[in-house]
């Protein structure tokens, strides 16, 4: 079984996502801004979200964590390492903050570092973590760069939203870059 212990930072506590988080996750994806930032065109039912939460809680090939604040277990969002590719020693990363999560307070950055440190420790051969962020999300791009992610490319016209195309910025962070900025992964 994949180790998914609670991960504690200065202000953030990450806990393994589970079935009990389904309702809060469902509520969080009703936020139009979250839907736009993730480019989610689909409609998700409570049952679909409950099934997803149960499935990822038992998964051995991904790390799904709830973002909470110290002293307050309320769901504030999620951070995920998934699409683990052991042959190429890489994984993909994503984060989604709920509308009721404090914005601009650095919680997403702290949650990202906690999850990546754990991911690099759990998978000692993991070398590269990659993500995509839509080019209209300048705040997220700056936050990822501050954490050490490097822009690698730009997918042109990859999202159709509000009657126009938007591109996606491809970014990655390598283990040595992470450790130089954030200390050893374990």
pLDDT of residue 15 exceeding 80: yes
Mean pLDDT of the chain, nearest integer: 93
pLDDT of residue 185 exceeding 80: no
Q: What pLDDT does 169 receive?
A: 98
**Rounded to 5 degrees, what are φ and ψ at 140?**
-70, -40
Mean pLDDT of 20-39: 90
Q: Is the pTM of this model over 0.85?
A: yes
Is 64 within the bounds of a domain? Answer: yes
Contacts with 2 (C-beta within 8 Å, 6 or more apart), sequence order: 59, 60, 61, 63, 122
Output the domain CATH number for residue 35.
3.40.630.30
Is 117 within the bounds of a domain? Answer: yes
Is 49 within the bounds of a domain? Answer: yes
pLDDT digits (tens, 9 = 90+) for 162-174: 999 999 999 999 9
Is 25 within the bounds of a domain? Answer: yes
> 1: pLDDT confidence band, cut at 50, 70 and 90?
low
Mean pLDDT of 112-127: 95
Domain of residue 128 covers 7-182
Q: What pLDDT does 172 receive?
A: 98
Mean pLDDT of 26-43: 87
Is 1 within the bounds of a domain? Answer: no
Say which residue, 103 or 32, is predicted with more confidence. 32
């Amino acid at each position: 079984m994949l180790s998914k212990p609670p991960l504690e930072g200065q202000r953030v506590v990450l806990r393994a996502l589970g079935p009990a988080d389904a309702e809060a996750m469902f509520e969080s994806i009703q936020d139009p801004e979250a839907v736009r930032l993730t480019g989610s065109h689909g409609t998700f039912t409570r049952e679909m979200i409950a099934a997803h939460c149960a499935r990822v809680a038992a998964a051995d090939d991904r790390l799904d964590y709830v973002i909470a604040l110290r002293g307050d277990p309320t769901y504030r969002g999620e951070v995920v390492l998934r699409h683990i590719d052991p042959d190429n020693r890489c994984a993909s990363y994503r984060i989604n903050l709920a509308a009721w999560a404090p914005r601009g307070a650095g919680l997403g950055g702290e949650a990202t570092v906690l999850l990546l440190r754990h991911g690099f420790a759990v998978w000692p051969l993991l070398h590269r973590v990659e993500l995509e962020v839509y080019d209209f999300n300048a705040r997220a791009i700056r936050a990822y760069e501050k954490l050490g992610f490097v822009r690698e490319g730009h997918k042109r016209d990859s999202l159709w939203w509000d009657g126009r195309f938007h591109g996606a910025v491809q970014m990655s962070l390598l283990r040595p870059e992470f450790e130089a900025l954030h200390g050893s992964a374990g």
